[in-house]
Structure 1
Amino acid sequence: MPLTSHAVTAYIRPFIDSNVRNRLDKMSVIPAIPASFQPVHKVIRNYRNTTIAHSQSTLVMPLPVAILDDRGKGVDVMGVSVTHQMPLALAEHFSDLIRTVEDIVEEATQPVLDRLRTWLNAQDPAAIGSWQLPVINEARDADFTSAHRRKRTPQFTMYWRDWEQERM
């Protein structure tokens, strides 16, 4: 389930609105998904919205479970979610869709890569050495927050477990 969820989320991400990038299906340089793959694309998009992202489909069933003792008396309660994986036949079609979209994007971006490579080849080593490097931050696990928004300057934060603090 985690691999399926990640694949669905990663695939659909370029097709939904974002604050940091344009939608793939709205870019004029990217051809449309072939008609033969449109039904699979639609199913995957709906699966992401109703099952992976929001758990609103009949493929997910949260249940309260009563724990009983030997006499049948209720002693505890816990929550359980029953989920159904993406069927194998759909997963195989999804895999084909991913390969097709990768090929479409690769072909559409090839001219840009060629121009960038030509431009890069013409750059002076001193100029390249003066380019701003990505910022790598580090912080303790206890300082983790998901509230940070990506900035224009590439930044990445690595979180570390503070073993010394845990021993205290």
Structure 2
Amino acid sequence: MSNGGVTAFETVMIPDFPDARLFVELSSYGVDLSEARHALELASGAGEESPLRDAAAYLIGFASLAYCRTFFDSKVRKPLTKHIVIPAEFQDLHWLVGAFRNTTIAHSQSELYTTFPVGILDAGTLRVRDVTAATYSQTLPPPMVSRFLELVEAVDDLLFEAIEPVRQRLIEELGGSDRAAMVARGVRPLVINASDADFDPRTKRLPYPTSNKLHWTSTPLSGE
């Protein structure tokens, strides 16, 4: 439908059946990979003059977490490796990123983050001035970050190949449905408004979601 040269759209929820659930699962991997890719791209562009220079290590760490979310065991979806195969040329890096996530980012066990006890002495008298902790930290080296980005892009391409036939089946299924009735029913995801006091990260999403809770913070006006 066109309105004054601007195309108008209606949205409907795809009915709950296996391909719809599979599409949700596969697409959710894509979100994780997109986050990993964006973080790596930001880290790769964090040169000497970049305001992100000091954040580069944290961006790389986040990219490792986001990437590994797609492969590690989860209670709400299968590992992405149930749908695709990591290319042979990236296998070693794939496992290295997983180890980096496990021992360095998610759990502080690696010597890449080591804290030393250091005494501060007066240079002339050697009198003890203080005792402090000095931490050595090392993230992925730049050549490995570039390679990591190539890995994410390669996996994302394979994911697209897995999603596309499912998407086409959904298009055919929707094309054979009573779309007018679906629009009339107005079946869309239910938005549940809640306060920030109700925020709970321990919830588990469903394989076929029907609602989303938005948490709002009530900020009093100045002077109230």
Give TM-score, length-normalised by structure 2.
0.60
| Secondary structure of the corresponding residue to residue 85 of structure 1 | coil
1:37 matched to 2:84? The reply is no
1:15 corresponds to which letter in structure 2? F
1:163 corresponds to which letter in structure 2? T
- Describe the superposition over 1:129-166 as per-residue Cα deviations: whole angstroms up to 9, x where unpaired: 4364223233333333322222343443333333239x
Offset at residue 81 of structure 1 (A) = 5.2
| Secondary structure of the corresponding residue to residue 15 of structure 1 | coil
| Secondary structure of the corresponding residue to residue 58 of structure 1 | coil
| Secondary structure of the corresponding residue to residue 158 of structure 1 | strand
Q: 1:108-119 alignment to 2 at 5 Å? A: 108-119=162-173
1:133 to 177, 185, 188: 188
Partner of 1:50 in structure 2? 103
1:84 matched to 2:141? The reply is no
Offset at residue 112 of structure 1 (A) = 0.9
Query: Is the 1:5–1:52 Cα contact (8 Å) retained in structure 2?
Result: yes
Task: Work out the number of aligned pairs and report it.
Answer: 161
Partner of 1:105 in structure 2? 159
Partner of 2:65 in structure 1? 9
2:176 corresponds to which letter in structure 1? A
Whole-Å Cα distance in 2 between the matches of residues 66 and 163 of structure 1? 47
Whole-Å Cα distance in 2 between the matches of residues 90 and 163 of structure 1? 45
User: Structure 1 vs Structure 2: percent identity of aligned residues?
Assistant: 35
Offset at residue 51 of structure 1 (A) = 0.8
RMSD (Å), alpha carbons: 3.1
> Which structure 1 residue ranges, 4+ long, deviate > 6 Å from structure 2?
64-68
Whole-Å Cα distance in 2 between the matches of residues 73 and 88 of structure 1? 38
Offset at residue 16 of structure 1 (A) = 1.1
Partner of 2:80 in structure 1? 24
Q: Is the alpha carbon distance of 1:111 and 1:45 closer, same or farther for their aligned partners in structure 2, counting shifts above 3 Å?
A: same
- Describe the superposition over 1:39-86 as per-residue Cα deviations: whole angstroms up to 9, x where unpaired: 110110100111111111111134678899xx9565x97x77543222
2:100 corresponds to which letter in structure 1? Y
| Secondary structure of the corresponding residue to residue 92 of structure 2 | helix
Return the structure number with greater relative CO, CA threshold 8 A, min gap 6: 2
| Secondary structure of the corresponding residue to residue 139 of structure 2 | coil
| Secondary structure of the corresponding residue to residue 92 of structure 1 | helix
Q: Is the alpha carbon distance of 1:109 and 1:143 closer, same or farther for their aligned partners in structure 2, counting shifts above 3 Å?
A: closer
Query: Is the 1:135–1:153 Cα contact (8 Å) retained in structure 2?
Result: no
Gaps of 5+ in 1: none
